[in-house]
Structure 1
Amino acid sequence: MRRLSSCVVLAAGLATACTVGPDYGGPPRSPGAAAYARAADAAQPGPPLARWWTALNDQTLDALIARGLAANPDLAAAEARLRQARAAVRLERANGLPNVNGSAVYLHARTPGLAIGQNSGDQNGSGQTNQNGSGDGAQTLDFYNAGFDASWEVDLFGGRRRAVEEARAQAGAAEARLADAQVSLTAEIAQAYVNLRDVQRRMALADAAVTSRAQLLQLVEQRFAQGTASRLDLVQARNQLSSSRADATPLVAQRDAYLDALATLTGSVPGTLDASLAAGGALPLPPPRVAIGDPASLLRRRPDIRAAERTLAAQTAAIGQAVAAQFPKISFMGMVGLGGTSPSDLVSTDSVFALIAPRISWNFLSFGRNHARIAEARASRDEAEANYDAAVLAALRDAEDALARFGARRQTVAALARARGEAQAAVDLSAQRFAAGTATRIDLLEAEQRRIAADQALDQATAQLTGDFIALQKALGLGWGAA
């Protein structure tokens, strides 16, 4: 028992040994600028809104995103991968603890007897007795055993600790990928919803254009019958009506595609949302001012950067595991149990047996394998660092590009809004002249056609502006939690 206690003390001392390999010191890159270079005139400092879609003030969109976050299958798969990674952390922690097994054995053996003194009879003179009284010379043995066995490899150089460190980092990367999936999902739902409202609005304007062109054709046909319009005027009016009808035809297919996209993004079969969304609605507009924060907060917030950083931490820990593998390993194996040739021995303290066996193994002659594994781990770590730097640069570029597009689109929308106002003023003047008898109805219908075209251009640019707002929020890494 004294020797067993000494071994336990020795194992406890070895458990506090060193941890080889490089320690992770955090992400290597930080932005050089304190503010964005291409901040739009609508941007403002301060923390951005985590649930950014609420700034669009559309309750239908809010409900769709909530439904998607709860039922999207891709998001459910990312959540399952996160649970797997967290379970791997618990497994690596458990691998550093002793492995204890309980066992119970019953052994029955029958062996042939030995032929001794065949010419003079057997030892007891009977010729037919053995250990259990059988008459054929065979011997039988019963053995009973119950106990525990344990094995434990001492983490002498920190290989197990590095494995736990790597598993934790991988779990952090899985959590960041889940957040990145949420960012992408919220942006996709919002963009599909904006596209749906845009195409529904364009369908209404296309119907208005077809109606106006049909009225214009009727007037040209009347004038042609009266000889006041040429055949060229008639052919052009018919061509314009055919073109308007052709423009309206594919819009129905686009609307159905966006409805199906919203259904699948929210975890439903296509057609589920047709009844609730087919009626149409107003196109959501971005707020006049948008908080964007700064590049430093972007790097802390964007999930893809966080995932790349956690991957770098995991690869750094993997170097320590490779380094620890080239040093000696110390393990202990022990057994404690009760046993004997009868069932009563299982409860008898006189039949206790104990065994402890320390073992040292060292693959010192690996012919370069250990050094190759270390070199491979260091190269993987360098790759992860390069991927992290690339993720940082890509994130900064995404934010700058999104800000530039958002600012330019605002100016485009403002110019088209002025053009639409001028087109409406022309319709009003044409209506006044028509009422006064100084303009024909054809002049009024042509003015209305120009106003409808201005409406179409403005609506399309407005939808693109909202889409640029969505892209900006995605570039800022929003949509997964608190900013």
Structure 2
Amino acid sequence: MKTIRPASALVVSALLAGCTVGPNYSGPPVAAPKAAKAPAFVRAGDAPVAATPPVARWWESLNDTTLTALENRALSANPDLAAAEAKLRQARASLREQKANLLPKGSASALYAHARFPGLDLGSSDSGSGQGGSGSVSDIDLYNLGFDASWEVDIFGGQRRAIEAARATAEGAEASLADAQVSLTAEVAQAYINVRDRQRRIALNQQSIAMQEQMLALTRQRFERGTASRLDVERLSQQLDSTRADVTPLHAELDAYLDELATLTGDEPGALDATMATPAPLPLPPAEVAIGDPAGLLQRRPDIRAAERMLAADTAKIGQAKAAEFPSLSFMGIIGIGGTSPADLTKLDDFTALLAPQLSWSFLDFGRNAAKVKQAEGVRDEAEAKYRSAVLAALRDAEDSLSQFRNRRGTVATLARAKASADETLALSRQRYAAGTSTLIDLLDAERQQVEAEQNLSIAEAGLSGDFVTIQKALGLGWGATEAPR
């Protein structure tokens, strides 16, 4: 009978290592075939959008240096973003660990031992004594240097599937980090828009309060002279109290948005109060918004990429579970030198060596591993359903945000015309007052209506800027590329 030498066994095992069980991942399913073929978002309507590729750092198109500085600060100091980056580092370290598991493991050891053995020195004795002798002690020193190695051959590809799953998981963590960046940049921009909007509305309300106070004072003078009724005084007084009441929640909202902006940029609440104390114009969206095409959206949105990478990882884990159903082959080797004196450690030609191949197979597990395979297949099916859901949700976000942006533009245009009409009315009222054909109260009322029209327009413009931010988030913009997994 011919025996197989260890070197031959290694060659055979290497050839067997080419077999990898389990399904091969062939890419994600087509979740939205119509959208993939569409040239652009068909329901963009008359909104100023273009199918040109969008800009990643979209907030720079708002031309607001303060907003740009806040975005950069948030991307470098936000704690939630730091947590996502830490998860990415964990996933990449796990990938390196799985790659290392494919290689042999080796360790070295050094041993010194001193043993003391009690002994019994049996000698002759008188026949009448029955026993005799004296005890003795033996001392032994032991010196040893050893090296051992083990290697489990990946015959059916279980470890290769584990590496495949770890790599997909790391890429999914990278996509999750990008998704966190998308959400963060959108939240910072929205909070900044809300701050500037509240500051502007507070200033307009203060103007309105000042005008109404002057109107109320003049009306009281007229009432004292008998040229105005008590009803006119009460009506203006009630209107003034209502306007004053509107300012209080605006101050509370301004404080809340300033605190939100501070925490988003990684600072304590109140840290930006002094920096943002001076009101500034509300940033408005550009005249034309680039949206790209639906197919590009599916490739660009990081939440979709994260769902796709999770599907790839769960597919690889099926093969990892199936590989456990088959036999495993491992090798263990030991080399050691030593003896009872330190000089024995230098005798390199006098060593102990052991090479032990081991074949194991858990063929009688009463369906345990088959259940694990079914479980892995169920997890994969769940990941596929989540991927389809992510795709449909992304397309819906894009369509809804574009529709909202289009309709908001119509509202802004209408209120802009109303504001222009109020400006014209105020100009005519000033001419009539200067000519002496109208009263000061008439002029103040025209100014109040003009301020009210400006307030309504300010609210609509803030909503339009917020809709622009929503479009950028729906398009999956605001993230930067990171280092690829190693």
TM-score, normalized by length of structure 2?
Answer: 0.94
Whole-Å separation in 1 of the counterparts to 2:122 and 2:194: 100
Whole-Å separation in 1 of the counterparts to 2:283 and 2:151: 63
Whole-Å separation in 1 of the counterparts to 2:303 and 2:205: 42
Give the partner amino acid of 1:12: A
Cα deviation 1:121-179 (Å, max 9, x = unaligned): 9xxxx966xxxxxxx32333222110110111110100000000000000011000000
Whole-Å separation in 1 of the counterparts to 2:460 and 2:97: 54
The answer (yes or no) to whether the contact 2:123–2:133 under 8 Å persists in 1 is no
Aligned residues: percent identity?
60
The equivalent residue for 2:41 is: 36
The answer (yes or no) to whether the contact 1:68–1:185 under 8 Å persists in 2 is yes
- Per the TM alignment, residue 433 of structure 1 is displaced from its structure 2 partner at its CA by 1.4
The equivalent residue for 1:131 is: none
Whole-Å separation in 2 of the counterparts to 1:303 and 1:354: 54
The runs of 5 or more residues in structure 2 that have no matched partner are 482-486
The answer (yes or no) to whether the contact 1:340–1:351 under 8 Å persists in 2 is no
Which structure 2 residues correspond to residues 53-72 of structure 1 after superposition, within 5 A? 53-72=59-78
Note if 1:19 corresponds to 2:20. yes
Local SS of the residue matching 1:138: strand
Local SS of the residue matching 2:269: coil
The answer (yes or no) to whether the contact 2:54–2:292 under 8 Å persists in 1 is yes
The equivalent residue for 1:219 is: 218
Whole-Å separation in 1 of the counterparts to 2:247 and 2:478: 35
Whole-Å separation in 1 of the counterparts to 2:84 and 2:392: 25
Whole-Å separation in 2 of the counterparts to 1:150 and 1:351: 20
Which structure 2 residues correspond to residues 353-392 of structure 1 after superposition, within 5 A? 353-392=352-391
Cα deviation 1:247-300 (Å, max 9, x = unaligned): 112222221111111111111112221121110100000011111011110010
Whole-Å separation in 2 of the counterparts to 1:293 and 1:367: 55
Tell me the number of residue pairs that the alignment of Structure 1 and Structure 2 aligns.
469
The equivalent residue for 1:337 is: 336
Whole-Å separation in 1 of the counterparts to 2:11 and 2:236: 100
- Per the TM alignment, residue 10 of structure 1 is displaced from its structure 2 partner at its CA by 3.6
- Per the TM alignment, residue 110 of structure 1 is displaced from its structure 2 partner at its CA by 2.2
The answer (yes or no) to whether the contact 2:62–2:283 under 8 Å persists in 1 is yes
Local SS of the residue matching 1:50: coil
The equivalent residue for 1:465 is: 464
Give the partner amino acid of 1:107: A
Aligned CA-pair RMSD: 1.6
- Per the TM alignment, residue 342 of structure 1 is displaced from its structure 2 partner at its CA by 1.3
Cα deviation 1:367-410 (Å, max 9, x = unaligned): 01011000000000000000000000000000000000000000
Local SS of the residue matching 1:137: strand
The equivalent residue for 1:264 is: 263
Whole-Å separation in 1 of the counterparts to 2:115 and 2:107: 25
Whole-Å separation in 2 of the counterparts to 1:432 and 1:400: 49
- Per the TM alignment, residue 435 of structure 1 is displaced from its structure 2 partner at its CA by 1.5
User: Structure 1 residues 118 and 310 mapped into 2: Cα distance closer, same or farther (>3 Å)?
Assistant: farther
Whole-Å separation in 1 of the counterparts to 2:126 and 2:28: 91
The answer (yes or no) to whether the contact 1:99–1:152 under 8 Å persists in 2 is yes
Whole-Å separation in 2 of the counterparts to 1:220 and 1:72: 55
Whole-Å separation in 2 of the counterparts to 1:445 and 1:177: 56
The runs of 5 or more residues in structure 1 that have no matched partner are 129-135
Note if 1:101 corresponds to 2:107. yes
- The correspondence for 2:53, drawn from 44, 47, 60, is 47
- Per the TM alignment, residue 5 of structure 1 is displaced from its structure 2 partner at its CA by 3.1
Cα deviation 1:22-55 (Å, max 9, x = unaligned): 0000111253131213214211111011110011
Whole-Å separation in 1 of the counterparts to 2:471 and 2:8: 65
Local SS of the residue matching 2:140: strand
Cα deviation 1:446-482 (Å, max 9, x = unaligned): 1111111100000000000000000000000000037
Give the partner amino acid of 1:337: G
User: Structure 1 residues 389 and 445 mapped into 2: Cα distance closer, same or farther (>3 Å)?
Assistant: same
User: Structure 1 residues 46 and 118 mapped into 2: Cα distance closer, same or farther (>3 Å)?
Assistant: farther
Local SS of the residue matching 1:38: helix
Whole-Å separation in 1 of the counterparts to 2:41 and 2:364: 56
Cα deviation 1:55-101 (Å, max 9, x = unaligned): 10101100000011011111111101100000000000001111101
User: Structure 1 residues 293 and 206 mapped into 2: Cα distance closer, same or farther (>3 Å)?
Assistant: same
Whole-Å separation in 2 of the counterparts to 1:118 and 1:379: 81
